[in-house]
Every structure is written in structure tokens, then in C-alpha cells.
Structure 1
Amino acid sequence: MMLIEETAVPLAALPVDEFKAHLRLGSGFAEDSLQDAVLESFLRAAIAAIEARTGKILIERGFSWVLTQWRDQAGQALPVAPVRAITEVVLVDRGEAEEVVDPALYRLDRDMQRPRLRPVGTLLPNIPGAGSVRIGFIAGFGAGWGDLPSDLAQAVLLLAAHYYEYRHETSLGEGCMPFGVTSLIERYRTVRLFAGGAV
């Protein structure tokens, strides 16, 4: 399985001005000491960390997911949420020849925890032997910063500020995330009920 981010978070969607205000309130930095490119990088890092921890895509963008077999041919759970649309399902054989699956044969089962690609009939199409299937989709709460739930938006600002404040610190453990951030994102984390099984 391989999840590929086809489009990046656009610069216009990053809350650089809100982040500047957040840092000034917390630290009293002067306006001219803030560099936009540096702040953008910390915001992108915070967004990526929160998306990885929760399995939720914050800002809308395109993804493709490659599988060599269905976990459940009656409905394949997608790796992230919320998914807004399926853009393509493509079967790829061992010789790399592609066959686009008719969109009338599948549908998106929307869910905030575990969206699924479902067949319109009984089963999803067979994946060619030694081949794969590529699922293209659009995921995210929305195209702009204002589309995020307020607690997730606050978590991004808190984590980006943490990264900014400790940008020269090299002794922090891997995966270090402040308690305030973890408490804000906890309810968005995907609950896995069956170890390794379909959910």
C-alpha cells in the first residue's frame, strides 16, 4: 500500500497572520523579527504531524492510494478522512497497462472515521494478478483555514508555536507533542477495534 499526496497545502490556506498574532501574544516578538517562510515551514510541519497522528486531512487536497489487493472486496476502507470525493479508480496490470473503472460501478461511503469505497453492485472489481489498483480521491475538511474545526485549528497553532519556540532544541524525543495539543486532537484519532482486521 502506498499513499501519495498529489497536491500540497496551498500557501493561501496557511494561517500565517494568525500564527504571527499567536506568537506575538505569547512571546512579544516584534513584527520585523518574523520571517514568513520560516513560519510557513512550521505551520506545514504542524499540519503534517497532526494529520499523521489523527488520520484526518486538514486542508483539502488530492491523494492517490495504490493497493495490490482489497482488504474487503465488499467495501475498502480508505486510509484517511474526511474524503469528499473519489476522483478515479484505475486497475493496473503487471505490464503497467491501465483500465479506468466506470464511476457508475462504485460509490463513496462517507464517514468521519473510516470512509469506504463501496461497489454499486456486490463486489469491487478484481485487481489483476501481480497488478494493482490506484484510487484517486479528494480529502480534507475544506479548502480554507476557516473550514477546520476550531479545536484542530488551535492545535495546529499551538504545535507550530512549540516547534518555533524549540527550533534550536535537539534533545526532544521523537514524536514529542505538547499535552495541550494531544488533548485537542484526541477525539479525532481513529479508533482501531480489531488488531489488523477490517474495521
Structure 2
Amino acid sequence: MMLIEETTVPDAALPVAEFKAHLRLGSGFAEDDVQDEVLRGFLRAAIAAIEARTGKVLIEREFSWTLTGWRDRAGVLLPVVPVRSVAGMVLVDALGAETAVAASAYRLEKDSQRPRLRPTGALLPSVPLGGELRIGLVAGMAPDWGALPADLGQAVLLLAAHYYEYRAETALGDGCMPFGVTSLIQRYRVLRFGLGAAR
């Protein structure tokens, strides 16, 4: 199984102006945009860290998921959350010949924690021996920054500011995340169920 992020969050979707205001950086100077690339880097790092902690994609983008076989042909959990749509499915045989799977053969079962791909018939199509299956997915909580829930947006700005302020610090522990950020993202973390209890 392999999951590839096919598109990244575009520069235009990053809230550089809001981040500058959050940091209280000066404005109105001739070289206002001199730090923009650095600020975008901190915003991308904060988004990636929050996505890792919550298990959810924040800004909508495309992914491809490659499988060599199904765990269960009656339905399979998708590797990213939340999935907005299935862009397509392609079977690839051992010689590399590709066959598109009709969209009418499967359906997306949307769920904010555990989205699934289900067959419209009895089973999902079988994967050719020695071949693979490629599935295109579009996932993300919001199509752009403005549509992101306010608390998640604030968490991204807080964490990016933390990275910015401590950019030269080497003594911070692994996985260090400010309390304000963890409290803002707590309700978005993926619920895991095991032995009858939520973890």
C-alpha cells in the first residue's frame, strides 16, 4: 500500500497576511514581502504537524492510493480523512496495462472519522495477479483557508508563530507542541476504538 500526496496546499491558500498580523510584523515598507517565503514554510510545517496530530487533512488536495490487494472486497477504510470524493479507480495488470473502473461500480461512504469505499454490487473489483489498483482521492476539511473552522485556523497560526519564535532553538523535546494548540485541536483528533473503549 502506498499513499502519495499528488498536490500540495497552493501558496495562494496560505494565510501569509493573517500570519504577519498575528506576529505583529511591520507593514508599509518597500520590502514587505521579503519574509513571505519563510513565513509560508512555517505555515506549511504547522499545517503538516496539525494534520499528523489530528489525522485529518486540513486544506483540500489530491492523493493517490496504490494497493496490491483488498483487505476486504466488501468495503475498505480509506487512508485519509475526510474524503470529499473518489476521483477515479484504475486496475493495472502485471504487464502495466491499465483499465479504468467504472464509477458506477463503487461508492464513497463519507464519514468524518472512518470513510470507506464500498461496492455498489456485492464486491469491489478484484486486483489482477501481480498487478495493482490505483485510487484517486480528493480529501480535506475545507477547499481553502477561509472555509477552515476558526479554531483550526487559530491553531495553525499559533503553532506557526511558535516555530517562528523558536526557529533557532535546538533544545526543545521531540513532538513539542504548545498547550494552546493541543487544546484547540483536541476535538478533531481521530477516535480509535479497541477492546470496547475509545482511545
CA–CA distance in structure 1, aligned partners of residues 72 and 38 of structure 2: 44
Match of 2:37 in 1: 37
Match of 1:71 in 2: 71
- In the TM superposition, residue 192 of structure 1 has moved relative to its aligned partner by 2.1
Match of 1:127 in 2: 127
Match of 1:163 in 2: 163
Match of 1:54 in 2: 54
Question: Would the aligned equivalents of 1:57 and 1:82 in 2 still touch at CA under 8 Å?
Answer: yes
> SS of 1:125's equivalent?
coil
Match of 1:23 in 2: 23
Question: Would the aligned equivalents of 1:13 and 1:143 in 2 still touch at CA under 8 Å?
Answer: no
> SS of 1:30's equivalent?
coil
Question: Would the aligned equivalents of 1:47 and 1:58 in 2 still touch at CA under 8 Å?
Answer: yes
RMSD (Å) for aligned C-alpha atoms:
1.6
> SS of 2:163's equivalent?
helix
Question: Normalized against structure 1, the TM-score is what?
Answer: 0.90
CA–CA distance in structure 2, aligned partners of residues 57 and 140 of structure 1: 5
The worse-fitting range, judged by mean Cα deviation, of 100-109 and 29-38 is 29-38
> SS of 2:121's equivalent?
coil
Match of 1:140 in 2: 140
Amino acid at match of 2:26: A
> SS of 1:183's equivalent?
helix
- In the TM superposition, residue 143 of structure 1 has moved relative to its aligned partner by 2.1
Amino acid at match of 2:38: V
Residue-by-residue CA offset, 1:132-161 (whole Å, 9 max, x unaligned): 211101111222111111111111011100
- In the TM superposition, residue 185 of structure 1 has moved relative to its aligned partner by 1.1
Amino acid at match of 1:164: Y
- In the TM superposition, residue 106 of structure 1 has moved relative to its aligned partner by 0.4
Residue-by-residue CA offset, 1:78-117 (whole Å, 9 max, x unaligned): 1111111101111122222221111010011111111111
**Consecutive unaligned residues in structure 1, runs of 5 or more:** none
CA–CA distance in structure 2, aligned partners of residues 163 and 3 of structure 1: 27
**Consecutive unaligned residues in structure 2, runs of 5 or more:** none
- In the TM superposition, residue 71 of structure 1 has moved relative to its aligned partner by 2.1
CA–CA distance in structure 2, aligned partners of residues 92 and 193 of structure 1: 34
Residue-by-residue CA offset, 1:18-74 (whole Å, 9 max, x unaligned): 1111111xxxx4335871111000001111111122121111111101112222211
Question: Would the aligned equivalents of 1:56 and 1:81 in 2 still touch at CA under 8 Å?
Answer: yes
CA–CA distance in structure 1, aligned partners of residues 158 and 43 of structure 2: 10
Give aligned-pair identity as a percent.
67
CA–CA distance in structure 2, aligned partners of residues 70 and 62 of structure 1: 21
Amino acid at match of 1:45: A
Amino acid at match of 1:178: P
CA–CA distance in structure 2, aligned partners of residues 128 and 188 of structure 1: 38
The worse-fitting range, judged by mean Cα deviation, of 29-38 and 86-95 is 29-38
